Amino acid sequence: MYADYKALKFQRRGKVLTVTMNNPPLNSASPELHDELSYVFYDIARDRDCSVVVLTGEGRAFSAGGDIKAMADHLTDEIYHTGFISRGPFVVHGLLGLDKVVIARINGHAMGFGASIALMCDLMIAVDTAKIADPHVMVGLSAGDGGSFIWPQHIGFARAKWFLLTGDAVMAPEAVTMGLINKAVSAEKLDEVVYELADRLANGPTRALNATKRGINMLLRRQAEGVIEAHLGMEMWTVFSNDHKTAVRAFLDKEKPVFEGR
């Protein structure tokens, strides 16, 4: 079922399926990784041997978000961006619509799209040194790939606006305090805590767990269906802005961007 995946790795532990984003060094959302995330949750839904999913990243990061180099290579390529953006709703709907419990094993920084993916999981356990942020605005983009939708669901509009409008990061322990994620643990304890929970749920009353998740996610799914295409459209509107081009070039040149509001 998973033999053709390239940017995602799979490992089974009984009824627990670990899905690892594998785009070194920081698991940025390359076109290939983004594409595979748009249909992997539909494949997992058909996997009868899986009851619980652990979603994580290879190496020292969960996911650093957008691939800046790919952005630079396609700054004016409308066909590329249209294809990329069009797959976004499938990521959101696939993850929120999957009945099986998904645990985010946040093994390092989760930024932008990476943060959105983590926060749309059902349970989120992070290493205590991880930073979580959605800095879309810092590269001249609207947070359209799920950030504008999911952050307010966890921490309310006022706090979500702070983080989405400033691009500021929050450390995992503080993220727990504000209700953004569930737990922050040491790197040495991360696997123990994640897989103890995963095994517990995988060996629990699967039908009841799946039905409960579906019930909880009903409202989230209705809201996502109502806004995600529009949010992605707003991100597309900013993709071709001068500010985005300025930010991408400045990032690659390791300079501070000077925005003009255009």
With 80 as the cut, is the pLDDT of residue 40 above it? Answer: yes
Work out the average pLDDT over 167-188: 98
With 80 as the cut, is the pLDDT of residue 12 above it? Answer: yes
With 80 as the cut, is the pLDDT of residue 239 above it? Answer: yes
Classify residue 220: in a domain, yes or no.
no
Q: Can you give the length of the chain in residues? A: 262
With 90 as the cut, is the pLDDT of residue 26 above it? Answer: yes
Q: What pLDDT is attached to residue 253?
A: 83
Q: What pLDDT is attached to residue 82?
A: 81
Q: What pLDDT is attached to residue 248?
A: 87
Rounded to whole angstroms, how far apart are CA atoms 241 and 245?
7
CATH code for the domain in which residue 123 is found: 3.90.226.10
Q: What pLDDT is attached to residue 80?
A: 80
pTM here is 0.96
Classify residue 217: in a domain, yes or no.
no
Classify residue 236: in a domain, yes or no.
no
Q: What pLDDT is attached to residue 88?
A: 92
Classify residue 209: in a domain, yes or no.
no
Q: Which residue has tokens 């990032």?
A: 251
Rounded to whole angstroms, how far apart are CA atoms 37 and 26?
16
Q: Give the torsion sign (CA, 214, 194, 24, 149).
A: positive
* pLDDT above 90: percentage of residues in the chain: 82
* pLDDT above 70: percentage of residues in the chain: 100
Summarize pLDDT for 100-110 with one digit per residue, the tens.
999 999 999 99
Summarize pLDDT for 190-230 with one digit per residue, the tens.
999 999 999 999 999 999 999 999 999 999 999 999 999 99
Q: What pLDDT is attached to residue 220?
A: 95
Summarize pLDDT for 114-155 with one digit per residue, the tens.
999 999 999 999 999 999 999 999 999 999 999 999 999 999
Classify residue 149: in a domain, yes or no.
yes
Rounded to whole angstroms, how far apart are CA atoms 260 and 146?
26
Q: What pLDDT is attached to residue 79?
A: 80
Classify residue 120: in a domain, yes or no.
yes
Q: Which H or E element spans position 153?
A: helix 147-166
Q: What pLDDT is attached to residue 119?
A: 98
Q: What mean pLDDT value characterizes the chain? A: 94
Q: What pLDDT is attached to residue 4?
A: 96
Q: What pLDDT is attached to residue 73?
A: 79
Q: What pLDDT is attached to residue 252?
A: 83
The residue among 256 and 81 whose pLDDT is bigger is 256
Range of the domain at 96: 8-188
222's CB contacts (< 8 A; 6+ apart) are none
Count of the separate structural domains present in the chain: 1
Residue type, 104: A
Cα angle for residues 153, 156, 157 (degrees, 5° grid): 105
**What are the helix and strand counts (H, E) for the chain?**
10, 10
Summarize pLDDT for 61-86 with one digit per residue, the tens.
999 988 777 777 777 778 888 878 88
Q: What pLDDT is attached to residue 135?
A: 96
- DSSP-derived 3-state class of residue 184: strand
Q: Which H or E element spans position 62?
A: strand 61-63
